Amino acid sequence: MYYYRYESAEVSCCYKYLMFSYNIIFWLAGVAFIAVGFWAWSEKGVLLDLAQVTRLRGFDPVWLVLVVGGVTFILGFAGCVGALRENVCLLKFFSGVIGLIFFLELTAAVLAVVFQSQVREWLNDFFLENIKGYRDDIDLQNLIDSLQRMNYCCGAQDPNDWDLNVYFSCNGTHRSREKCGVPFSCCVTDPADSVVNTQCGYDVRNRPMRDWSSHIHVKGCISALEDWLPRNLYTVAIVFIVISLLQMVGIYLARTLISDIQKVKFNY
Protein backbone atom coordinates (compact mmCIF):
# COMPACT_ATOMS: atom_id res chain seq x y z
CA MET A 1 0.00 0.00 0.00
CA TYR A 2 1.35 3.41 -0.95
CA TYR A 3 0.77 6.64 0.94
CA TYR A 4 0.99 10.05 -0.69
CA ARG A 5 2.06 13.11 1.23
CA TYR A 6 0.67 16.41 -0.02
CA GLU A 7 2.44 19.66 0.66
CA SER A 8 -0.87 21.49 1.11
CA ALA A 9 -3.52 18.99 2.11
CA GLU A 10 -5.67 21.48 3.99
CA VAL A 11 -7.05 24.95 3.48
CA SER A 12 -5.10 27.61 5.38
CA CYS A 13 -6.76 28.09 8.77
CA CYS A 14 -5.28 31.59 8.93
CA TYR A 15 -7.09 32.85 5.81
CA LYS A 16 -10.21 30.83 6.66
CA TYR A 17 -10.75 32.37 10.09
CA LEU A 18 -9.56 35.82 9.02
CA MET A 19 -12.25 35.69 6.36
CA PHE A 20 -14.81 34.54 8.93
CA SER A 21 -13.82 37.28 11.43
CA TYR A 22 -13.89 39.92 8.68
CA ASN A 23 -17.42 38.95 7.65
CA ILE A 24 -18.96 38.36 11.07
CA ILE A 25 -18.56 42.10 11.65
CA PHE A 26 -20.44 42.84 8.42
CA TRP A 27 -23.12 40.30 9.28
CA LEU A 28 -23.69 41.80 12.75
CA ALA A 29 -23.70 45.33 11.29
CA GLY A 30 -26.31 44.22 8.75
CA VAL A 31 -28.49 42.75 11.50
CA ALA A 32 -28.18 46.01 13.47
CA PHE A 33 -29.12 48.17 10.44
CA ILE A 34 -32.15 46.00 9.63
CA ALA A 35 -33.27 46.03 13.29
CA VAL A 36 -32.97 49.84 13.45
CA GLY A 37 -34.87 50.19 10.16
CA PHE A 38 -37.80 48.04 11.27
CA TRP A 39 -37.80 49.72 14.69
CA ALA A 40 -38.07 53.13 12.99
CA TRP A 41 -40.93 51.89 10.83
CA SER A 42 -42.71 50.40 13.86
CA GLU A 43 -42.44 53.74 15.68
CA LYS A 44 -44.10 55.45 12.71
CA GLY A 45 -46.77 52.77 12.43
CA VAL A 46 -45.64 51.72 8.95
CA LEU A 47 -45.58 48.03 9.89
CA LEU A 48 -49.27 48.25 10.76
CA ASP A 49 -50.13 50.05 7.53
CA LEU A 50 -47.60 49.31 4.76
CA ALA A 51 -49.52 51.58 2.38
CA GLN A 52 -47.89 54.52 4.19
CA VAL A 53 -44.67 53.73 2.32
CA THR A 54 -46.30 54.59 -1.02
CA ARG A 55 -47.98 57.74 0.31
CA LEU A 56 -44.75 59.46 1.37
CA ARG A 57 -43.91 62.29 -1.01
CA GLY A 58 -40.26 62.70 0.01
CA PHE A 59 -37.36 60.38 0.69
CA ASP A 60 -37.72 58.04 3.66
CA PRO A 61 -34.22 57.59 5.22
CA VAL A 62 -35.36 54.23 6.62
CA TRP A 63 -35.24 52.82 3.07
CA LEU A 64 -31.53 53.64 2.89
CA VAL A 65 -30.91 52.01 6.27
CA LEU A 66 -32.78 48.85 5.24
CA VAL A 67 -31.06 48.58 1.84
CA VAL A 68 -27.58 49.06 3.35
CA GLY A 69 -28.46 46.60 6.12
CA GLY A 70 -29.84 44.04 3.68
CA VAL A 71 -26.79 44.15 1.38
CA THR A 72 -24.38 44.05 4.35
CA PHE A 73 -26.28 41.14 5.92
CA ILE A 74 -26.27 39.08 2.69
CA LEU A 75 -22.57 39.74 2.05
CA GLY A 76 -21.64 38.96 5.66
CA PHE A 77 -23.66 35.75 5.58
CA ALA A 78 -22.13 34.63 2.26
CA GLY A 79 -18.62 35.39 3.51
CA CYS A 80 -19.07 33.65 6.87
CA VAL A 81 -20.70 30.49 5.50
CA GLY A 82 -18.40 30.44 2.48
CA ALA A 83 -15.33 30.55 4.73
CA LEU A 84 -16.53 27.98 7.29
CA ARG A 85 -17.96 25.54 4.75
CA GLU A 86 -15.22 26.23 2.20
CA ASN A 87 -17.91 26.96 -0.36
CA VAL A 88 -16.31 28.36 -3.51
CA CYS A 89 -19.65 29.52 -4.95
CA LEU A 90 -20.46 31.72 -1.94
CA LEU A 91 -16.91 33.09 -1.79
CA LYS A 92 -17.04 34.00 -5.49
CA PHE A 93 -20.42 35.67 -4.93
CA PHE A 94 -18.95 37.66 -2.01
CA SER A 95 -15.83 38.83 -3.88
CA GLY A 96 -17.83 39.57 -7.03
CA VAL A 97 -20.39 41.76 -5.26
CA ILE A 98 -17.69 43.59 -3.28
CA GLY A 99 -15.82 44.21 -6.54
CA LEU A 100 -19.02 45.49 -8.20
CA ILE A 101 -19.71 47.85 -5.28
CA PHE A 102 -16.14 49.19 -5.48
CA PHE A 103 -16.51 49.75 -9.23
CA LEU A 104 -19.83 51.56 -8.75
CA GLU A 105 -18.31 53.80 -6.03
CA LEU A 106 -15.40 54.69 -8.29
CA THR A 107 -17.71 55.32 -11.25
CA ALA A 108 -20.00 57.54 -9.13
CA ALA A 109 -17.01 59.57 -7.89
CA VAL A 110 -15.68 60.11 -11.43
CA LEU A 111 -19.13 61.04 -12.81
CA ALA A 112 -19.69 63.47 -9.93
CA VAL A 113 -16.45 65.27 -10.83
CA VAL A 114 -17.05 65.25 -14.59
CA PHE A 115 -20.75 66.24 -14.48
CA GLN A 116 -20.70 68.68 -11.56
CA SER A 117 -23.42 70.96 -12.92
CA GLN A 118 -25.82 68.06 -13.53
CA VAL A 119 -25.13 66.64 -10.06
CA ARG A 120 -25.76 70.06 -8.54
CA GLU A 121 -29.06 70.34 -10.42
CA TRP A 122 -30.09 66.83 -9.32
CA LEU A 123 -29.27 67.58 -5.68
CA ASN A 124 -31.22 70.82 -5.89
CA ASP A 125 -34.31 69.06 -7.32
CA PHE A 126 -33.96 66.27 -4.75
CA PHE A 127 -33.81 68.75 -1.87
CA LEU A 128 -36.81 70.72 -3.17
CA GLU A 129 -38.85 67.52 -3.56
CA ASN A 130 -38.11 66.59 0.04
CA ILE A 131 -39.03 70.05 1.29
CA LYS A 132 -42.55 69.27 0.05
CA GLY A 133 -42.69 66.15 2.23
CA TYR A 134 -41.03 67.71 5.29
CA ARG A 135 -44.05 67.22 7.57
CA ASP A 136 -45.02 63.85 6.10
CA ASP A 137 -42.28 61.79 7.74
CA ILE A 138 -40.49 62.36 11.06
CA ASP A 139 -37.22 60.76 9.85
CA LEU A 140 -37.13 62.95 6.75
CA GLN A 141 -37.88 65.96 8.94
CA ASN A 142 -35.00 65.13 11.30
CA LEU A 143 -32.65 64.59 8.34
CA ILE A 144 -33.43 68.01 6.82
CA ASP A 145 -33.22 69.71 10.21
CA SER A 146 -29.83 68.13 10.89
CA LEU A 147 -28.55 69.16 7.46
CA GLN A 148 -29.70 72.78 7.92
CA ARG A 149 -28.36 73.06 11.47
CA MET A 150 -24.96 71.55 10.71
CA ASN A 151 -24.40 73.65 7.58
CA TYR A 152 -26.06 76.89 8.80
CA CYS A 153 -28.32 76.98 5.76
CA CYS A 154 -32.00 77.19 4.86
CA GLY A 155 -33.73 75.69 1.82
CA ALA A 156 -31.99 74.49 -1.32
CA GLN A 157 -31.08 77.93 -2.70
CA ASP A 158 -32.63 80.29 -0.13
CA PRO A 159 -35.37 80.39 2.56
CA ASN A 160 -38.08 81.08 -0.02
CA ASP A 161 -37.79 77.45 -1.13
CA TRP A 162 -40.00 76.67 1.87
CA ASP A 163 -42.92 78.09 -0.11
CA LEU A 164 -43.04 74.62 -1.68
CA ASN A 165 -44.21 73.15 1.61
CA VAL A 166 -47.93 73.54 2.22
CA TYR A 167 -47.45 74.41 5.89
CA PHE A 168 -44.77 77.10 5.39
CA SER A 169 -46.05 78.56 2.12
CA CYS A 170 -46.95 82.26 2.00
CA ASN A 171 -49.34 81.50 -0.83
CA GLY A 172 -52.88 80.19 -0.57
CA THR A 173 -55.55 80.55 2.06
CA HIS A 174 -54.37 77.89 4.52
CA ARG A 175 -54.36 78.92 8.20
CA SER A 176 -51.22 77.12 9.31
CA ARG A 177 -49.44 78.83 12.20
CA GLU A 178 -46.20 78.20 10.28
CA LYS A 179 -47.39 80.20 7.25
CA CYS A 180 -44.60 82.39 5.82
CA GLY A 181 -42.16 80.84 8.25
CA VAL A 182 -39.28 78.36 8.13
CA PRO A 183 -38.34 75.34 10.29
CA PHE A 184 -36.52 76.06 13.54
CA SER A 185 -33.37 74.50 12.06
CA CYS A 186 -33.03 77.59 9.83
CA CYS A 187 -32.79 79.92 12.83
CA VAL A 188 -29.65 81.71 13.98
CA THR A 189 -29.21 80.32 17.48
CA ASP A 190 -27.51 81.74 20.54
CA PRO A 191 -24.92 79.24 21.91
CA ALA A 192 -25.98 80.33 25.40
CA ASP A 193 -29.53 79.07 24.85
CA SER A 194 -30.03 75.72 26.56
CA VAL A 195 -33.57 75.21 25.22
CA VAL A 196 -34.35 75.00 21.49
CA ASN A 197 -37.00 77.49 20.42
CA THR A 198 -39.01 75.52 17.84
CA GLN A 199 -41.13 78.59 17.03
CA CYS A 200 -38.25 80.90 16.15
CA GLY A 201 -39.01 80.67 12.41
CA TYR A 202 -42.66 81.68 12.63
CA ASP A 203 -43.64 84.60 10.33
CA VAL A 204 -39.99 85.40 9.62
CA ARG A 205 -40.56 85.68 5.86
CA ASN A 206 -43.26 88.30 6.45
CA ARG A 207 -40.47 90.63 7.52
CA PRO A 208 -38.34 92.67 5.07
CA MET A 209 -35.63 90.51 3.48
CA ARG A 210 -32.90 92.79 4.85
CA ASP A 211 -33.88 91.68 8.35
CA TRP A 212 -33.82 87.94 7.67
CA SER A 213 -30.13 87.42 8.34
CA SER A 214 -30.63 88.57 11.95
CA HIS A 215 -33.05 85.72 12.58
CA ILE A 216 -32.38 82.90 10.09
CA HIS A 217 -29.63 81.59 7.85
CA VAL A 218 -30.14 82.95 4.34
CA LYS A 219 -27.62 80.75 2.55
CA GLY A 220 -28.97 77.78 0.59
CA CYS A 221 -27.91 74.27 1.56
CA ILE A 222 -26.66 73.39 -1.93
CA SER A 223 -24.17 76.28 -1.77
CA ALA A 224 -23.29 75.34 1.79
CA LEU A 225 -22.50 71.76 0.73
CA GLU A 226 -20.37 73.06 -2.15
CA ASP A 227 -18.40 75.15 0.36
CA TRP A 228 -18.15 72.23 2.81
CA LEU A 229 -16.53 69.80 0.36
CA PRO A 230 -13.28 71.77 -0.34
CA ARG A 231 -12.83 72.41 3.40
CA ASN A 232 -13.16 68.70 4.18
CA LEU A 233 -11.56 67.24 1.06
CA TYR A 234 -8.84 65.40 3.02
CA THR A 235 -11.41 63.86 5.37
CA VAL A 236 -13.55 62.70 2.44
CA ALA A 237 -10.47 61.28 0.69
CA ILE A 238 -9.35 59.41 3.82
CA VAL A 239 -12.83 57.91 4.32
CA PHE A 240 -12.93 56.81 0.68
CA ILE A 241 -9.44 55.27 0.90
CA VAL A 242 -10.26 53.41 4.14
CA ILE A 243 -13.49 51.98 2.67
CA SER A 244 -11.65 51.00 -0.52
CA LEU A 245 -8.88 49.27 1.45
CA LEU A 246 -11.43 47.32 3.51
CA GLN A 247 -13.11 46.20 0.29
CA MET A 248 -9.76 45.21 -1.24
CA VAL A 249 -8.86 43.21 1.90
CA GLY A 250 -12.17 41.35 1.65
CA ILE A 251 -11.62 40.55 -2.02
CA TYR A 252 -8.02 39.45 -1.34
CA LEU A 253 -9.05 37.12 1.51
CA ALA A 254 -11.88 35.62 -0.55
CA ARG A 255 -9.75 35.04 -3.65
CA THR A 256 -6.89 33.57 -1.60
CA LEU A 257 -9.26 31.21 0.19
CA ILE A 258 -10.84 30.19 -3.14
CA SER A 259 -7.37 29.44 -4.51
CA ASP A 260 -6.50 27.29 -1.45
CA ILE A 261 -9.77 25.36 -1.68
CA GLN A 262 -9.31 24.67 -5.38
CA LYS A 263 -5.72 23.49 -4.84
CA VAL A 264 -6.81 21.03 -2.14
CA LYS A 265 -9.63 19.69 -4.33
CA PHE A 266 -7.24 19.34 -7.27
CA ASN A 267 -4.72 17.43 -5.15
CA TYR A 268 -7.39 15.04 -3.93
Measure Cα distances from 175 to 57, 141, 167, 178 in Å.
Answer: 22, 21, 9, 8
C-alpha count within 13 angstroms, C-beta hemisphere, residue 103: 7
pLDDT tens sequence across 90-106: 999 999 999 999 999 99
| pLDDT of the residue at 177 | 86
Ranges of the chain whose pLDDT falls below 50? 1-6, 8
| pLDDT of the residue at 264 | 73
Q: Are 128 and 161 in contact (CB under 8 A)?
A: yes
Q: Are 26 and 75 in contact (CB under 8 A)?
A: yes
* Burial class (CB within 10 angstroms; exposed 0-12, middle 13-18, buried 19+) of 159: buried
DSSP assignment string, 138-174: HHHHHHHHHHHHHHT--SSSSGGGGGGSTTT-SSSS-
Return d(Cα 181, Cα 205) in angstroms, integer.
Answer: 6
The strand pairing partners of 216, in sequence order, are 187
SS3 category, 54: helix
Average pLDDT, the chain: 86
Closest CA to 71 of 31, 106, 38: 31
- pTM of the predicted structure, to 2 decimals: 0.78
Return d(Cα 245, Cα 37) in angstroms, integer.
Answer: 27
| pLDDT of the residue at 47 | 59
